Amino acid sequence: PRRFAGRNIHSVEIWLKDSVTDVAGESVQSAVADMGFGRPALSRFGKRLYARATSTTKFRHAVAKTLANETVNYCKIVTTQRQKK
């Protein structure tokens, strides 16, 4: 996103683990089938969030503490660095 241009930008993808029932994903499968298309074999719900943080370690800690529940979620954190022109 444009407003996060610059350095120390992180994104985190949060997904439900495969062992957890994904009600939103099941709803999407039903909706696609109801529209006349074939029912998808798999549909999972996830979210991606962007944030600015001065330290990847601090960002990982904040995600683990506030956004992801290790019991039901897994997450992938990506740090993007602005390249010099």
The pLDDT of 27-37, averaged and rounded, is 95
Predicted confidence (pLDDT) at residue 5 exceeds the cutoff of 70: no
How high is the pLDDT of residue 83? 45
**CB burial of residue 10 (10 Å; 0-12, 13-18, 19+):** buried
What single letter denotes the amino acid at residue 66? Answer: T
Q: 14-25: b or e for each residue (b if 16 or more CB lie within 10 Å)?
A: bbbeeeeebeeb
Q: Is the pTM value of this prediction over 0.85?
A: no
Q: Could you tell me the pLDDT band of residue 85, with boundaries at 50, 70 and 90?
A: very low
pLDDT digits (tens, 9 = 90+) for 38-83: 999 999 999 999 888 888 888 888 888 898 888 999 999 887 655 4
- DSSP conformational letter for 15: E
The pLDDT of residue 26 is above 90: yes
